[in-house]
Chain A
Amino acid sequence: MINLIILSLQVRFTIMSNRLVFLLRRIPLLGKGIPQSLYGKSEAKMVFTVLGVLHILNMRLMLHLAYMAILLITGIVLSQASAMGGIFEFLGSTESFANIDFQNVMLYALTSWFFFSFVGAPLYSILVGGRNHKNDNNMINYMRANPAKYAQSRIFLDRIGDLILFLPTLLIVFAIAGLPMWGALITLLIFTSCRLLGETLNLWLYKICGKHLGQIPLSYIIAVPVYLLGFTGPYFFGVLPLSTIFNNFFASTGILIASIVIGLFALHYIKNYQLYMNLLKDKLYILEAYYQKHAQATAGGATLAVAKNWSKDVTFENLEEDKFSHKSGFAYLNAIFFSRHWNFFRKKILTRCLIFLAPLAIVILLAIYSLILGEPLYRTIYVLVTDIVPAYQTAMYDMTPILFFILSMASVGRVVTLSIFSNCDIHMMHYPYYRTSKTILASFRSRYMMIFAYNTLITTTIFVSMMGIIVLIFGYIDIASAGVFFLALTAMSAFFSFSDLFLYYVIQPYDSGGKDKSILHKVINGGMGILAWQFLFNIRVGLNVFTIGLVGAVVVYLLIGSVLLMLLAPKRFKLR
């Protein structure tokens, strides 16, 4: 088992070190200085393994300390609330954290810990719910480790880890709480037995019904009150009489023997369990489906897996009818592409439009409510949100820069681009005629126009929603401001429609598996994200200034982008 644990760590950190070398070699310029032979340097990887183990221990310690901190804070809050006569008194006082009785705090913290650790023990299983899914996959599917030994080593490591981490913590806590020191050891023994029992329960459940607790909805229904009770129970029911419990209960020979017997029974069951392979394979199969579905998630929620799912939205009628026969060449190809994918794209657009219409719907309801009250709408809103800045039209328009951030996420550019790649270009890029300058520029133009049309549907919805809100609140629209606002929205639509497609053509970051292999692409997208955040939090300018600046920037971007497209795309637009 020790060898298996060591092998598991070596595999994990070898993969990690290979990944690190791979990433380093992809850094422009610097990467060329990193030799491929580094993959074969096992001494270097041993260093990674040691560093990795230290990292795991460090992370485990950090998590443990974070858990302890949560319990400590819970203990402080509950102890102080109890001393001050109630939670509201605690929250309302300016001296909530004065004169803390740490002995009392430890008793409260321990009470919570008891709930989580003993009552919640059956809900916890390192095997089925723990971390390290990729490591499970590597060891079971690739290294062909004996699944029983591997599973047992995971459980063994987890228990050892808990013993090492909890022992000093419990000794300190017990000392502060004025509880006997031997109580910490007994508690740890019973805790370990309970955890082993929890693992056993999950294994047994899987044997009986093919599912573990994590797959049974009822366990979540039970888990929520357990965890809530852990935090709030001591407040309502008081701390556990831990001294009595230890002196009269835990110290009794019967309890000690029962704990040992339970622990040994659990160990025996774990040792002789026959279904580890099935359990781990099922877990990995479910996780693989999950990872495939959520692979390459981007800020816009566009994933390659999602982009490939267009076909369930295609209508299979009328395939014989060639409604684009009047078109030819790439115009024909692109027309069919967007037509066949329309249902898929339409859902994306519709979802976004409905989200942007929601504020209008809320205001309409408020307007109806105001009518019933007999008040003008703006007064109703002012009454509901008393500290809002008076909702003059200009103030509303001055929030337009925030829409830059919102549209960076709402733009369908990313999902359309991914669909273009995964369903069309990934195949067509193999043909040299598809990569000529003329073809690339022609297809870029027609695709850009489609994406711009889609995004303009979204920005038009935003415009309509905003105008509707303004009319309902103020009873009129300032036409000039509305026009500038519409221009700003159109400029943003033009920008985001161009951006994803332009980066795709000029960088072409995807490989044949659909993975984004370009660090440059990721860096640029990261930069765009930072820029968008600035518009959300920092950039505050009036509508007119914002629109002039935005239109100017978009025009420059499109011009420069078009030149770069002509220069770079013919060389770079190919399959990685």
Chain B
Amino acid sequence: MILKVEGLTKHFDKKTVLENASYDFGQGKIYGLLGRNGAGKTTMFNCLVGNMTPDSGEVFMDFNEDGNIRTATFDDIGFVFTDPHLPEFMTGQEFLKYFIDISKDKIKDNVDLDQAFALIDFDNTDRHKLIREYSHGMKNKLQMLAFLILRPHVILLDEPLASFDVVAALQMKNLIESIKKDHIIIFSTHILPLAQDLCDEIVILHNGKLSALDPEKMNDKDFEEEIVKQLTKEEADD
């Protein structure tokens, strides 16, 4: 399975954020998307998932096992936001029940709510609290859980571990690694050690374009320098 991004372009007024960005993301890998602030990482995610309409370009799902290529839909792609967007008047349990209800056509296995909440360390009290009462980390976990249940083909994570404590971050990392073989996972981060540790491939978004970092550089001691070099080179150098 491949997520093919072809010629994605998006500008806001006269500022071009994405310019003919193209890349193929393959199944079974965790991709780290690196870019400077304002480079367009979140914009790209929003375009992929359909929250924004790109000015041009296409996004395809290539299920290469059966030669089936089609335009990606929002059913194929799940977006885990940096700041979780959850209805605060519901409890965690209610939100998850609602989410499972509306996604039941797309969920492959039956979901046991107890097991699901156990995945993110939510006890009975937490489940029945209003989301309004949750900490930022708890909201993030609940949001992540929704997508782990849904298991879309592609999972986009926007700075996913920024607000997690050490233990929760490790749990999440393990969880992401455990599901990667059946999915395409792309996450944006500024934390280079995390990218080095978790990612199979680094993709750089710079000057509106996507490019791969040489895989050999990933475990190099000059990794950070190489990333900075890639993120600061001028457009003419491309």
Contact = CB atoms under 8 A, between A and B. Distances in A.
A574 B85 CA distance: 14
A333 B98 contact: yes
For chain B, what secondary structure do more than half of its interface residues adopt (helix, strand, loop), or is it mixed?
loop
Interface stretch (B128-136, B174-182, B228-236): B128-136
A309 to B, nearest CB: 12
A40 to B, nearest CB: 12
B140 interface: no
B88 to A, nearest CB: 7
A341 B88 CA distance: 12
Which residue of B81, B86, B89, B103 has the most chain A CB atoms within 10 A of its CB atom? B89
A427 B143 CA distance: 12
Contact of B13 (A36, A319, A427): A36
A427 B85 contact: yes
A215 interface: no
Contacts of A430: 51, 79, 81, 85
Contacts of B14: 36
The contact size tier of chain B is: 20 to 34
B91 A332 contact: no
Contacts of A432: 49-51, 74
B217 interface: no
Nearest to B103: A433
Contacts of B50: 432
Interface string B89-100: 111011001100
A428 interface: yes
Contact of A322 (B49, B85, B94): B94
Contact of A337 (B89, B97, B130): B89
Contacts of B49: 432
A319 B134 CA distance: 14
Contacts of A325: 97
A310 B130 CA distance: 13
Contacts of B89: 310-311, 314, 336-337, 340-341, 423-424
For chain A, what secondary structure do more than half of its interface residues adopt (helix, strand, loop), or is it mixed?
helix
Contacts of A340: 89-90
Contacts of B98: 329, 332-333
Contacts of B51: 430, 432, 574
Interface in B62-117: 74-75, 79, 81, 85-91, 93-94, 97-98, 101-103
A438 to B, nearest CB: 10
A142 interface: no
A320 interface: yes
Contacts of A42: none
Nearest to A322: B94
B87 A423 contact: yes
A249 interface: no
B87 A424 contact: yes
A330 interface: yes
Nearest to A340: B89
Nearest to B73: A432
A330 B102 contact: yes
A329 B87 contact: no
Interface in A329-348: 329-330, 332-333, 336-337, 340-341
Which residue of B79, B101, B129, B132 has the most chain A CB atoms within 10 A of its CB atom? B101
Nearest to A333: B98
A328 interface: yes
B86 A427 contact: yes
Given A432-B51, A432-B74, A329 B85 contact: no
A433 B88 CA distance: 18
Contacts of A329: 98, 101-102
Contacts of B74: 432-433
Contacts of A290: none
B85 A336 contact: no
A37 to B, nearest CB: 8
Interface string A56-68: 0000000000000
B94 A433 contact: no
A431 interface: yes
A333 B130 contact: no
Contacts of A424: 87, 89
A409 to B, nearest CB: 27
B103 to A, nearest CB: 7
B9 to A, nearest CB: 19
Contacts of A426: 85
B45 to A, nearest CB: 11
B130 A431 contact: no
Given A36-B14, A329-B98, A432-B49, A311 B132 contact: yes
A358 B100 CA distance: 48
A319 B91 contact: yes
Interface in B119-143: 128-130, 132
Contacts of B79: 430
Contacts of B94: 322, 332, 336
Contacts of B87: 333, 337, 423-424, 427-428
Given A310-B89, A311-B130, A430-B81, 18 more contacts: A36-B14, A311-B132, A319-B129, A329-B98, A329-B101, A329-B102, A330-B102, A332-B94, A332-B98, A333-B87, A424-B89, A427-B87, A428-B85, A430-B79, A430-B85, A431-B85, A433-B75, A574-B51
Interface of B: 13-14, 49-51, 74-75, 79, 81, 85-91, 93-94, 97-98, 101-103, 128-130, 132
Closest 7 CB pairs of A and B: A432-B74, A427-B85, A328-B101, A430-B85, A340-B89, A320-B128, A329-B101
23 contacts: A36-B14, A311-B130, A311-B132, A314-B89, A316-B130, A319-B128, A319-B130, A322-B93, A322-B97, A332-B94, A332-B98, A333-B87, A336-B90, A423-B88, A426-B85, A427-B85, A427-B87, A430-B51, A430-B79, A432-B49, A432-B51, A433-B102, A439-B102
